[in-house]
Amino acid sequence: ILNVEQSPQSLHVQEGDSTNFTCSFPSSNFYALHWYRWETAKSPEALFVMTLNGDEKKKGRISATLNTKEGYSYLYIKGSQPEDSATYLCASRDNYGQNFVFGPGTRLSVLP
């Protein structure tokens, strides 16, 4: 089973701060990576689908980059707001697997 790791496990930032966190996955036979945002008491919602090395995706103040050669993806949040507080999940799949494997998530708290 693919091993997908995320760091840090949790993060507290002040409103207005910019922040980033990491998703690590095996670089061999990479197929695709997904990022999800998961608010408390809600279901995970997709943020980005990333497939190519060097991919950069952006949605408002949130952006993500992908490095498939070294096996990591960064998620950046610029000017964090309290409504950004959520758990951010990544999920990766390789060419041999039928399913995406989820990381344990990074729990972000933005303090007003």
Partner 1 sequence: NAGVTQTPKFRVLKTGQSMTLLCAQDMNHEYMYWYRQDPGMGLRLIHYSVGEGTTAKGEVPDGYNVSRLKKQNFLLGLESAAPSQTSVYFCASSYGVNSNQPQHFGDGTRLSIL
- Check: CB of residue 82 under 8 Å from CB of residue 64: no
To partner 1, the closest distance from the beta carbon of 52 in angstroms equals 11
Binding flag, residue 46, partner 1 (CB under 8 A) = yes
- Please, which residue, 5 or 15, has the CB nearer to partner 1? 5
70: left (phi over 0), alpha (psi -120 to 50) or beta: alpha
Q: Is the dihedral of CA 79, 82, 83, 89 positive or negative?
A: positive
Per-residue string for binding with partner 1, 86-105, x by CB under 8 A?
---x-x-x----xxxxxxxx
Q: Which residues bind partner 1 (CB under 8 A)?
A: 1, 9, 32, 34, 36, 42-46, 49, 51, 89, 91, 93, 98-105
